[in-house]
Structure 1
Amino acid sequence: MSQPKRFDTLAVHAGDRKKPGDYTPVVTPIHLASSFFYDSVEMLEEVFNEERPGHNYSRYGNPTSAALEEQLAALEGADFAVATGSGMAAIHLALMAGITDRRKSIVAGQVLYGQTLSMLMKVFEPLGIDQRFADPTDLARFEEVVAEHRPGCVIVETITNPMMRVCELDKIAEIAHRHGA
């Protein structure tokens, strides 16, 4: 017979790791755990090696973010989607995807959120990624810059932070696509 658990242990672990019963939540539960328990080290290793589906550390995904990704992909008619932990992580991921196997050049809106501008200067510039800036509310000038530099991707904001400028995203997308971005 096992010894009774002390108060401290009960306070931390009572109710933990319950196996699901004969029920299913009506909505996807929010998983707040940073790491996940498996019945064996071998099972965990298989998850780490992507030989078995599952989660090992929430920084790399968890059941809640996986459900969100699946739902977003379904809504967009896409094969998959990616959820990130912050807006800056999403911007970084999008920019990296935009220049991978393409021209290492970015044309950006003149007015950007400060951290986006900082990332362009402190992360992308040292990597040798060429950057040009243009006012996306001046479509003719913006197209001149895009046509001249033929970037791998274009990034603009609307409504801009902090200047509250609005550009025509559909027109910006047409310009970018017309010139190969």
Structure 2
Amino acid sequence: MVETDEGWKAFEIGTYGLHFCSKRDNWSLSSLGHRLTCTIRCWWCRETVYFHTNGNGDAVLFEKLGAPWEIHPCWEKHKHSRSAKIKELESILKQAGYDGRSKQFNLLKRRKHDPYIKMILQSKDMRVLDNYLIDFCKCLVSNDISFKGPIPMNVKINNGVKIYKRIIKILTASAIKDIDCFKEMIPPSINIKLKII
């Protein structure tokens, strides 16, 4: 029990910190009535950002907390889909146990490792794949981007056709923006997939 302005209330310490047992289930981000800052991944570029509202219908995504309070570029770029994303965030916060009371909340899972990009390359032509891989790895090195791999060639047969596959782990996850320019070098015969892990 803890004494509050409204009298004694039961509380418990949960995954997301101290909260009162009597949760406020009818809250919404547009009418919280107090500030809230959440650490989240940007809905559009997946970078770590800070969602902030004063609780009166306003909202913004900050690059980082503190002066000069730089607004995350995706916030301006995606004006048309902000409302839907805020509604989605509200639902996620409720599922995560946010009760509408605290002023800070972290939705990011703690990782056992730094994020990295898993790049999967597939082609029917082993030579084209390996030649591209050599050029691609040179580009990574020349741009000071750390990586592991490539792993040994993996071959699978699909409808009688050999498909060659290689995987590279790019350890500099912030390099995702740079990798887009490397995609332009990809021959049409190579299929590429990127996953942030």
TM-score, normalization by structure 2: 0.22
Counting strand residues as a fraction of each chain, which structure ranks higher?
2
**Higher relative contact order structure (alpha carbons within 8 Å, sequence separation ≥ 6):** 2
Counting helix residues as a fraction of each chain, which structure ranks higher?
1
